[in-house]
Amino acid sequence: MNVPTLKIENLKLGFDTYAGMTEVLHGISLHIGRGEKVALVGESGSGKSVTARIVLGMLQSLKTARISGSVFFEGIDLERMSARGRHALRGTKMSMIFQDPTSSLNPVYRIGTLFKEVLMRNEPAITHEQVRRKACEALADVAIAEPERVLDSYAFQLSGGMNQRVMIAMALVNNPSLLLADEPGTALDVTVQAQTLKLMGELVEKHHTSVLFISHNLGVVREFADRVYVIYKGNIVEQGPTGELFDNPLHPYTRALLAAVPRITGGGIPDIADDPSAFLAPLVTHSGHSEKELLA
Amino acid sequence: MKKTLVILTRNPLSLIGLLLVATVVLSAIFADFIVPFPDHQGAVVDFVNFNKPPEWPYIFGTDLVGRDLFTRIIYAYRISLALGLVVLAIAVPIGVAIGLFAGYLGGWTEYVLMRVTDVFLSIPPLVLAMSVMGLLEPTLTNGMIAVTAMWWPWYTRLVYNLARSEKEEGYVLAAEIIGASRLHIMFREILPNCVPSILTKMTLDFGFVILIASSLSFLGLGVQPPTPDLGSMVAEGAKYLPDSWWLTVFPGLAILVAVFGFNLIGDALREILGVEEQ
């Protein structure tokens, strides 16, 4: 297999607090191959979002953060890169989509202006006409019918679903090789969310972009991801291909997580957690899907 | 902008404010064409007509050396408005920039900048301005410096608080992740979102700057004679109350009109722009 877009090895993260060190990640390893869609699933506070922050190099500058382990982006160790080099990757080769699309777009600028700023990251000398053309194409790709009108609008004039699609278009307009999606669309209603995710899936395939999809929504993960990592309290507890993991969860925590999904047929809240200590059991991999085998 | 003006004229109070401010500003600009005795702004002496109560052609009466009070009030507006403009034009950018740096960068930058600001805020404004004027010669320029020195910390505090809350917004995080520089985030992302609050405060402050400048010259620390100034006119006339009442009442009313007008507009702007009261 060729070099994975993202490879995280034994990543540990702690924060210095007045009460001593709080460990957040206890040594997680994961990787995303080129064009692969990988989901990182876990409950609130399990360490999903900080993982994304570390990949983007946003936590390294924090004085209280203690990070060890390594993050390789396209085979290059981010730790060995200069701050300037890491900075150059953001917004060009890596980009990110957020939970709440509307608050992520600055309300005082038109969408067209925001697009210009994103495009200028890649091509500082880009002309106004080129910006319009590229932005229109990108918006047309996310099934926005009147791209010209949207470019002249402000974020608060568009619906949440529209803003989400604008965000996706913006995130992909520079052809990044890695897209970090932190619970995209959680702020939207379910039908819109399903549509935009389908669109996003098609687009990343077209752009050959790898995706790290961070979510607590199992239904969405099942639709979207090729492979899944389940994270619990800063440890990866189970990993495997989506279908297999959902049909045959091996780890007690994954089983509890799946049992907690509400069923449309009713039946109330399921009984969970006969024994939470079992959730801390070591990593379970589906056959042929351990890090070693996949990266071999 | 046009829409804001339309809304301003709809509310009776803000309409009054608009009319008052327009009167003050226009009369200051076109002073040379309105006033009956343009040369009375300077050192003119006319002992035949000294200390006259209001009567034609001296509609506000004359002062102790026979100069037309109406003429002098209009010219004093000119100086007050210029002073307000200059003070705000210097104090606001300084205060806003410091507030942005402190609010967005945090850490020791915030600590140092805000403590310095607190020192300035802890001194009563008039005392601060008086001590600056005490150190320097009492002239118009130094009056501007004194008022500016006491004015910027309020903007620092306003913008500091705004920046701290805007910093948590999604678009700031998005800009950080896409690799925007700190300066870009402060001045291109956060600042435009603070503009409504800054603008409202500036309108309100315009009146207060005029008031403070008048207080300074009332104490003899501002503009020096023979240049007309509302504060020194009130101070001069106060010695002859209540007999020569016009010497204090008209300059006093002139201050009131200007301050009141700017306050009404400021309040209306606050409502239109949806700025919360600080």
The C-alpha atoms of residue B216 and residue B151 are separated, in whole angstroms, by 14
Check CB contact under 8 Å for B193 and A117: no
Q: Quick one: pLDDT at residue B1?
A: 62
Select the residue from B105, B108, B172, B178 to test the A interface by mutation, using most A Cβ atoms within 10 A.
B178
Cis omega (within 30 of 0) on the bond before A276? no
> Does A272 score more than 80 pLDDT?
no
> Does A144 score more than 90 pLDDT?
no
Average pLDDT score, chain B: 84
Q: How close B172 gets to chain A, by Cα (Å)?
A: 7
Tell me the average pLDDT across A80-90.
82
> Does B189 score more than 60 pLDDT?
yes
Select the residue from A54, A61, A102, A104 to test the B interface by mutation, using most B Cβ atoms within 10 A.
A104
> Does B274 score more than 80 pLDDT?
no
- Tell me which DSSP letter residue B185 carries: I
Q: How close B191 gets to chain A, by Cα (Å)?
A: 10
Assigned CATH for A6-295 = 3.40.50.300
pTM for this one?
0.79
Pairwise pLDDT comparison (B170 vs B5), residue with the higher score: B170
- The reply to whether B30 falls in a domain is yes
- The reply to whether B235 falls in a domain is yes
Helix extents (H) in chain A: 48-56, 83-89, 111-122, 128-141, 147-151, 160-172, 190-207, 218-224, 242-247, 252-259, 291-295
Nearest CA in chain B to A107: B193
- The reply to whether B129 falls in a domain is yes
Q: In terms of residue numbers, what domain contains B186?
A: 2-40+81-272
User: Among A109-113, A203-207, A277-281, B64-68, where is mean pLDDT lowest?
Assistant: A277-281
- The reply to whether B55 falls in a domain is no
Question: Are A216 and A44 contacting, i.e. CB atoms less than 8 angstroms apart?
Answer: yes
- The reply to whether B124 falls in a domain is yes
> Does A190 score more than 70 pLDDT?
yes
Residue B94: pLDDT band with limits 50, 70, 90: very high
pLDDT digits (tens, 9 = 90+) for A128-139: 999 999 999 999
What percent of chain A is modeled with pLDDT above 70?
A: 93
Residue A296: pLDDT band with limits 50, 70, 90: low
> Does B45 score more than 80 pLDDT?
no
> Does A26 score more than 80 pLDDT?
yes
Q: Which residue among A56, A107, A109 places its CB closest to the CB of B177?
A: A56
Q: Quick one: pLDDT at residue A271?
A: 61
Q: CA nearest B70: which of B249, B221, B217, B260?
A: B249
Q: Which residue among B173, B177, B193 places its CB closest to the CB of A90?
A: B177
Residue B238: pLDDT band with limits 50, 70, 90: confident
B172: domain CATH number? 1.10.3720.10
Tell me the average pLDDT across A14-27.
85
- The reply to whether B57 falls in a domain is no
- The ipTM value here is 0.74
The C-alpha atoms of residue A123 and residue B97 are separated, in whole angstroms, by 29
> Does A31 score more than 80 pLDDT?
yes
Task: Give chain B's domain count.
Answer: 1
Q: Which residue among B170, B177, B192 places its CB closest to the CB of A58?
A: B177
User: Kind and range of the H or E element at B151?
Assistant: helix B140-166
Tell me the average pLDDT across B224-232.
80
Tell me the average pLDDT across A20-42.
88
Q: Quick one: pLDDT at residue A275?
A: 65
What are the phi and psi torsion angles at B206 (to 5°)?
-55, -45
